[in-house]
């Protein structure tokens, strides 16, 4: 579904060139959930922006559903760290925004918006304005807005990092539920090893800048997953430790 081939990104700045990504290749299958982890500044957001068509790679090629990315596309949804809702539009009108931009059938879109808001527990909040909601609720609205256009691919850039730990854990559970239901193809950038092992089929570890593909860790554990006592804490713990070591040790001393 997503093909990233030999992608490099160099930013030319007045202070000199910044090499953000070097020769990254990755294939993401239809319905697969791939998490990307790596040190701050290793190019995770850059990679997502390239797949989203928000910027062009210095070299290499990216395809989604077999077609090269040349700019933003309707079949690619994006969710950022902050909800970025329009403050003057109600919850439902925020969710409907992409369907207006892409001129989708209004009635159909409204039905889908209600369904999605219901799914994330925001039933009854449709007419509220964003400032009347908590941060977690706003991010749920943002998730609905990303899903309304039924994208083939959902790109998520640290979507829960601005939330408190418990709300973040709640949303991780919800996203897992949505993923089990819809099996979307997701590329998910996170700093949280816990989130990565709970959500992903595979975790891609990038090396410190310039980001290169260091290792891919398969998370071969049945869903729903949980770090709680009744969950898969032992198996997930081993993978967490492995990822932690990959992130914390320089390549040359890693086993
Ligand atoms: N538009 C830009 N112009 C110049 N340099 C940039 C630009 N965007 C990113 N960079 C640089 O490229 C490198 C990678 O940035 P990027 O935001 O992709 O990393 P990241 O892994 O997402 O970081 P973090 O985890 O801190 O969010 C950084 O050194 C950053 O300063």
Q: What residues does each domain of the chain span?
A: 2-75+152-253, 83-150
DSSP state letter for 211? B
Q: Is 97 in the pocket of ligand 1 (CB under 6 A)?
A: no
Q: Is the pLDDT of residue 89 over 90?
A: yes
Q: Is 40 in the pocket of ligand 1 (CB under 6 A)?
A: yes
Q: How far apart are CA 115 and CA 101, in angstroms?
A: 20
- Distance, in Å, from the CA atom of 152 to the CA atom of 226, rounded to the nearest integer, reads 26
**Residue 37 C-alpha to ligand 1 middle, in angstroms?**
14
Q: Are strands 2-13 and 59-64 parallel, antiparallel or unpaired?
A: antiparallel
For a pLDDT cut of 90, what percent of the chain falls above it?
Answer: 67
Atom index in ligand 1 nearest the CA of residue 191 equals 25
Q: pLDDT tens digit string along 202-218?
A: 999 999 989 999 999 99
Question: From edge to edge, which strands make up the β-sheet containing 213-218?
Answer: 76-79, 153-157, 185-189, 33-37, 202-206, 213-218
Percent of the chain with pLDDT over 70: 98
Summarize the confidence of residues 141-167 as an average pLDDT.
Answer: 89
User: 141: CA distance to ligand 1 center in Å?
Assistant: 27
Q: What is the pLDDT of residue 254?
A: 47
46 CA distance to ligand 1 middle (Å) = 6
CATH number assigned to the domain with residue range 2-75+152-253, chosen from the 4 options 3.30.43.10, 3.60.20.10, 1.20.58.100, 3.40.50.300: 3.40.50.300
Banded pLDDT at 163 (limits 50, 70, 90)? confident
Q: How far is the CA of 163 from the centre of ligand 1 (A)?
A: 22
Residue to probe by mutation, ligand 1, list 36, 41, 47, most atoms within 8 Å of CB: 41
Q: Is 49 in the pocket of ligand 1 (CB under 6 A)?
A: no
Give pLDDT, residue 177.
86
Of 227, 143, 222, 193, the residue nearest 35 (C-alpha): 193
- Across the range 38-57, mean pLDDT stands at 94
Q: Which atom of ligand 1 is nearest to the CA of 13?
A: 4
CA distance 85 to 126: 14
Most confident of 31-45, 74-88, 135-149, 222-236: 31-45
The whole-number pLDDT of residue 15 equals 93
Dump strand ranges (E) for the chain.
Answer: 2-13, 16-28, 33-37, 59-64, 67-68, 76-79, 153-157, 185-189, 202-206, 213-218
67 pocket-lining for ligand 1 (C-beta < 6 Å): no
Mutate which of 11, 36, 206, 247 for ligand 1 pocket (most atoms within 8 A of beta carbon): 11
Does the pLDDT of residue 10 top 80, yes or no?
yes
Residue 255 has pLDDT above 50, yes or no: no
Lowest-pLDDT choice from 111-115, 120-124, 227-231 = 227-231
Please name the residue whose Cα sits nearest to atom 23 of ligand 1. Answer: 41
Q: Is the pLDDT of residue 23 over 80?
A: yes
Instruction: Give the residue-averaged pLDDT of 155-174.
Output: 88
What ligand 1 atom has the least distance to the C-alpha of 12?
4
What pLDDT, on the 0 to 100 scale, is given for residue 229?
78
Q: Decide: 22 in ligand 1 pocket, CB within 6 A.
A: no
Task: Give tens-digit pLDDT for 116-126.
Answer: 999 888 999 99
Segment 193-207 shows an average pLDDT of 95
Contact 20, 211 (CB under 8 A): yes
Closest CA to 21 of 255, 229, 208, 223: 208
Does position 153 have pLDDT exceeding 60, yes or no? yes
At residue 252 the predicted structure's pLDDT band, cuts being 50, 70 and 90, is: low
Mean pLDDT of the chain: 91
Q: Is the pLDDT of residue 3 over 90?
A: yes
Pairing of strands 76-79, 153-157: parallel
């Amino acid at each position: 579904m997503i093909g990233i081939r030999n992608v490099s990104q160099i930013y030319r700045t007045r202070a000199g060139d910044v090499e953000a990504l070097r020769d990254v290749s990755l294939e993401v299958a239809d319905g697969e959930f791939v998490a990307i982890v790596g040190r701050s500044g290793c190019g995770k957001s850059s990679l997502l922006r390239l797949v989203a068509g928000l910027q062009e790679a210095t070299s290499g090629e990216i395809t989604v559903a077999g077609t090269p990315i040349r700019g933003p596309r309707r079949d690619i949804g994006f969710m950022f760290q902050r909800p970025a809702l329009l403050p003057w539009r109600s919850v439902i009108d925020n969710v409907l925004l992409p369907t207006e931009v892409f001129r989708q059938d209004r009635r159909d879109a409204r039905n889908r918006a209600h369904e999605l808001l219901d799914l994330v527990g925001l039933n009854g909040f449709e007419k509220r304005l964003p400032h009347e909601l908590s941060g977690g609720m706003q991010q749920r609205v943002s998730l609905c807005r990303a899903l309304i256009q039924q994208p083939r691919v959902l790109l998520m850039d640290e979507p829960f990092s601005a939330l408190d730990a418990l709300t973040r854990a709640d949303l991780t559970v919800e996203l897992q539920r949505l993923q089990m239901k819809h099996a979307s193809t997701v590329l998910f950038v996170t700093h949280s090893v816990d989130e990565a092992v709970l959500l992903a089929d595979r975790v891609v570890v990038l090396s410190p800048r310039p980001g290169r593909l260091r290792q891919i860790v398969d998370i071969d554990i049945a869903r729903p997953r949980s770090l709680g006592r009744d969950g898969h804490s032992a198996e997930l713990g081993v993978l967490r430790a492995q990822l932690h070591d990959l992130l914390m040790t320089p390549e040359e001393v890693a086993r």
